[in-house]
Structure 1
Amino acid sequence: MASPLMLDSVWRDKQKFEEAEAYYQQVLAGTASKGAAGAKDKKSGKSGGSSIKNEIAEARQQIQKVLNSGGSVGASGDNSQVMKRVASREKENRDLKKVVEDMKALVQKLENRVTKLEGGSSAPSAQAPAPSKPAPAEDDDDDDDDIDLFGSDEDDGEADRLRKERLAAYEAKKAKKPALIAKSSLLLDVKPWDDETDMKKLEEEVRKITADGLLWGASKLVPVGYGIKKLQINCVIEDDKISTDFLEEEITGIEDYVQSMDIAAFNKI
């Protein structure tokens, strides 16, 4: 911070400081003369004060001119930059338009090629002529002309005869076709009375059961427990001829060997 004495000296030497400032501004503006500093020191009185004021005024005018000229130069510089930017944007716009036009032309070429590959054209002139439909109508008219209106009863009789022949042929073909026979596959569990039962004899007795629509298959002995084994035997039956009740009655009827019978599996064929 400046001391009061320094501020006082500045105030007393105010004229010198103002002259120095004026000279500095003239130097900056390029209007200061070589012997200006010495002349200013020799001058005194009213004439010296008025000349300093004039010089300060001239310096201020020069500064104002420089500022004005600098502002105009800056403005012209800004304008030139703006014009350069506008020109570059216009060039980019032209380039983009050219790219868009090229893309449109390429798309049009592709559409034409696809149209040719599909065998047609999007242009109305290139479309294939539509097939004429009046020809069948003319044929129908010719057929109508050939119809004998007075022979309609004979035609009806011929149609009935053909219908009956076709029905008869269908019935004959249906009769020759073999009827589908419903069959089932059964897996039977035949249990003996105890472990002393002769399982081989038991199986022989079971296989002795014969009937139309019954066919015995493979068999095996399956352990049950405590040394007892059950007979597991497969058979195929015709559903219309053999029932499960019939099998159960026949097998459990072998009372010397069979204690019970169960159906382990039942499948339609």
Structure 2
Amino acid sequence: MFIESIYLRNIPEEEVFPFTLPIIKSLEEPVDLTSNVTFFVGENGSGKSTLLEGMAAKLNLPAAGTAPVDIDPSLETARTLAKYLSLRQKTRSTRGFFSRAEDFIGFVRNIQSKIADLNSEIKEIEDTWTGGDITLALGAIKGEKQELIRRYGEDLDAMSHGEGFLKFFLARITGPGVYLIDEPESALSPQRQLSLMALIRKKVKEVNAQFIIATHSPIIMALPEAQILQFKEGKITQVKYKETDHYQLTKSFLDMPEVYLREL
């Protein structure tokens, strides 16, 4: 594991977001991470995504989106939180990434734009070349293009959203590091969620990756060896899978859907 605990130092006295969130204030007491896979669970607005974004800014992780974490306008609050956030790390790593499902389209466009630019550069050289062996001139450019295609596919956005999302993870989780993922289920079918779970288990065992994932999915959070931290009533507490509100509500609904549907 890389990150062992999360806590705040010197919370600012002025009442400004995100320090108005009870969950963020509660981090004056350290929260320990005990597994290579940790799930943040809780209702929308509970603070789990805010904390995950703050961790990404603190670590300055590469982002799977249209802009880096340190300049993305939507992460201004995260950068403010990062100034006061402390992450106790047993070992540091330069690998990892921060991913939000809504950023994936931006990531796809970036890769497609790079491939298109390389194609234009290749064509321009081919149309204007007057020197010797053109193979040498095009070698590095074609090599860069082929590497992008090998990792991500030439037409990444032609795949289903879920397939492309999983292909991204396969390509980018290459070694030990911290991988922060916010609500991956919004891009994945239930079957693809199971595929993501298998990939996470594989990468933990093979490359000692650490995952911290904010999720509402009772499928994803069922990973047996994972730590589950529930964000509820202004506190972060470790719970068992079947103690989560997500599991209990989902199971209750599936057992007796007619009871819930009568109330609609």
* TM-score, structure 1 as length reference: 0.15
Q: TM-score, normalised by structure 2?
A: 0.15
Higher helix share: 1
Report 1 or 2 for greater relative contact order, CA contacts < 8 Å, sequence distance ≥ 6: 2
Larger radius of gyration: 1
